[in-house]
Amino acid sequence: MPKEVFDKHYSFLPHSSLLSFEEITRVARLFVAHGVQKLRLTGGEPLLRKDLERLIAMLSELRTVDGAPLDLTLTTNGSLLERKAQALKDAGLQRVTVSLDALDDTIFRRMNDVDFPVADVLAGIEQAMRVGLGPVKVNMVVKRGTNEHEIVPMARFFRENFGGAVVLRFIEYMDVGATNGWRMDEVLPSAEVVKRIGEVFPLEAAEASAPGETAQRWRYRDGGGEVGVISSVTQAFCRDCNRARLSTEGKLFMCLFADHGHDLRALLRSGHDDAQISAAIGALWSGRDDRYSELRGAMAADTGSGQRRVEMHYIGG
Q: Write out pLDDT tens, residues 29-39.
A: 999 999 999 99
**What integer pLDDT is reported at residue 285 of this predicted model?**
86
List of E strands, 143-289: 166-172, 203-206, 215-220, 226-230, 245-246, 251-253, 262-263
**What integer pLDDT is reported at residue 114 of this predicted model?**
86
Cβ atoms of residues 72 and 60 within 8 Å: yes
**What integer pLDDT is reported at residue 95 of this predicted model?**
97
**What integer pLDDT is reported at residue 273 of this predicted model?**
96
**What integer pLDDT is reported at residue 53 of this predicted model?**
98
Q: Write out pLDDT tens, residues 219-248.
A: 999 999 999 999 877 776 566 778 889 999
Question: How distant, in Å, are the alpha carbons of 64, 68, 211, 255, 274 from that of 37?
Answer: 6, 9, 12, 18, 19
Identify the burial level of 215 via C-beta atoms within 10 angstroms of its C-beta, where 0-12 means exposed, 13-18 middle and 19 or more buried: buried
Residues 128, 88: Cα–Cα separation, whole Å: 9
List of E strands, 100-200: 136-142, 166-172
In which residue ranges of the chain is pLDDT below 50? 300-307, 312
Domains observed in the chain:
15-315 (3.20.20.70)
| Helices 21-33, 52-60: inter-axial angle, 10-degree rounding | 30
Sign of the CA dihedral with 148 first, then 150, 153, and 154 last: negative
Kind and range of the H or E run holding 278? helix 274-286
Q: What is the pTM of this model?
A: 0.84
**What integer pLDDT is reported at residue 108 of this predicted model?**
95
Residue 3: DSSP 8-state: T
Residues 28, 70: Cα–Cα separation, whole Å: 11
**What integer pLDDT is reported at residue 296 of this predicted model?**
52
